[in-house]
Amino acid sequence: MIGGEIDPTARAEREVRGLFADDEAVDRGVSWARQVLADAGIDPETQPMQAIRVLRRTERGLSLIAARYLVSAAAGRPPRRRGPGSPVLR
């Protein structure tokens, strides 16, 4: 991909900041995700696919990458940053 965002974690964080626009957007986004999932009775640790579906149905502007990021964070798994896949691009 030429000129695009390579790191999906960075892309997800940027999108979450856009949805929850303030300095603590990612923390507010994770709190929101935890509350939505608790209200729906979904455990993000054991039901990640259902959790992604619930978040995306609740917030239609949420991409798959951002929803996955929020589910991982809500489950207590810190998102991992990845670099370019090719050593040539590093």
For the residues 4-10, what does the mean pLDDT come to? 74
For residue 90, being part of any structural domain is answered with no
- What is the rounded distance in angstroms from the CA atom of residue 9 to the CA atom of residue 15? 10
Report DSSP letters for 13-78, one per residue: HHHHHHHS-STTHHHHHHHHHHHHHHHHT--TTT-HHHHHHHHHHHSTT--HHHHHHHHHHHTT-P
> What are the Cα distances from residue 15, in Å, to 3, 43, 75, 85?
17, 23, 19, 22
For residue 59, being part of any structural domain is answered with yes
Does the predicted TM-score (pTM) go above 0.85? Answer: no
- The domain total for the chain is 1
For residue 74, being part of any structural domain is answered with yes
pLDDT per residue over 9-36, tens digit each?
888 888 877 777 776 878 888 999 999 9
State the residue range of the domain holding 33: 8-78
pLDDT per residue over 47-89, tens digit each?
999 999 999 999 998 999 999 999 999 999 876 666 555 555 4
